[in-house]
Amino acid sequence: MSQANSEFIPVRIAVLTISSRRGEDDDTSGHYLRDSAQEAGHRVVAKAIVAENLYIIRAQVSEWIARDDVQAILINGGTGFTEGDCAPEALSPLFDREIAGFGEVFRMLSFEEIGTSTLQSRAIAGIANSTLIFAMPGSTKACRTAWENIIAPQLDARTRPCNFHPHLKG
C-alpha cells in the first residue's frame, strides 16, 4: 500500500477531555479539537469529558478503541505533573505501539512557545487496535500546537513521505 494518497480521506475521530473541572459549556480545548477536525474535513463521531481518574479514562478510551467507527482519538488534559494528571499512566497499557516521536516533537515545538516549562508536558501517543491515540496538554494553545503542526498533517493521507493513514482500521 502506498504511503501517501493523492486525495483527502476523512478520518473518524473521537475527542476526549480529561478534567474534573470542565463541562461541555467551557470545554474550550475539546471544542477546538472537534471544530478543527471538522473544518479539516474529518468526521467527529464521539466526544466526551471524563474525570481525572485512571480507570475512567482507560474505560472510555478502551470503548472507543473497540469501536469500528473510531479511527483516531484526540485527548486533551491529564498530561502534566499536578495531582490527578494520569493520562500517560492510563493510556500506556492500552498501546500496541507507542509513537514516541509525538511527545518529542510536541515538546520541541512547545519549547519555542513556553521555554523549559515544556519539560512538564507528558504528551504521549500510540496506536491500539489500529486506532491512533494522541494525548496532549489541556490548554487550547497546546492543542493548537499539536493539531496544526503534528496531528492534522499526519491524519492527512496526502502527507508525504508518509502519514498514519495506512495504519488505521478501515
Domain membership flag for residue 103: yes
Cα(147)–Cα(141) distance, integer angstroms:
10
Give the pLDDT confidence score for residue 130 in this predicted structure: 98
Give the pLDDT confidence score for residue 5 in this predicted structure: 74
Domain membership flag for residue 5: no
**Could you give the dihedral angle defined by the CA atoms of residues 121, 16, 52 and 102, in that order, rounded to the nearest 10 degrees?**
-20
Question: What residues make up the domain containing 43?
Answer: 12-167
**Could you give the dihedral angle defined by the CA atoms of residues 88, 154, 169 and 34, in that order, rounded to the nearest 10 degrees?**
70
Omega into 161 within 30° of 0, i.e. cis? yes
What is the SS3 assignment for 140? helix
- Region class of 22: left (phi > 0), else alpha (psi between -120 and 50), else beta: beta
Domain membership flag for residue 42: yes
Domain membership flag for residue 2: no
What is the SS3 assignment for 33? helix
In the chain, the amino acid numbered 61 is V
Cα(51)–Cα(9) distance, integer angstroms:
33
Domain membership flag for residue 74: yes
Domain membership flag for residue 116: yes
* Cβ neighbours of 106 (radius 10 Å): 27
Question: How many structural domains does the chain have?
Answer: 1
Domain membership flag for residue 133: yes
Question: Domain with 27 in it: what CATH number?
Answer: 3.40.980.10
Give the pLDDT confidence score for residue 2 in this predicted structure: 47
Domain membership flag for residue 3: no
In the chain, the amino acid numbered 62 is S
Give the pLDDT confidence score for residue 1 in this predicted structure: 45
Q: Which three cell numbers stand for residue 29?
A: 480545548
Give the pLDDT confidence score for residue 50 in this predicted structure: 97
Q: Sheet holding 12-18: strands in order across?
A: 43-50, 12-18, 72-76, 131-136, 124-128, 97-98
Question: Per-residue confidence of the chain (170 residues) as pLDDT tens digits?
Answer: 445 678 999 999 999 999 988 899 999 999 999 999 999 999 999 999 999 999 999 999 999 999 999 999 999 999 999 988 999 999 999 999 999 999 999 999 999 999 999 999 999 999 999 999 999 999 999 999 999 999 999 999 999 999 999 999 98
- Residue 1 has, within 13 A of its CA and on its CB side, a CA count of 11
Give the pLDDT confidence score for residue 97 in this predicted structure: 98
C-alpha radius of gyration, the chain, whole number: 15
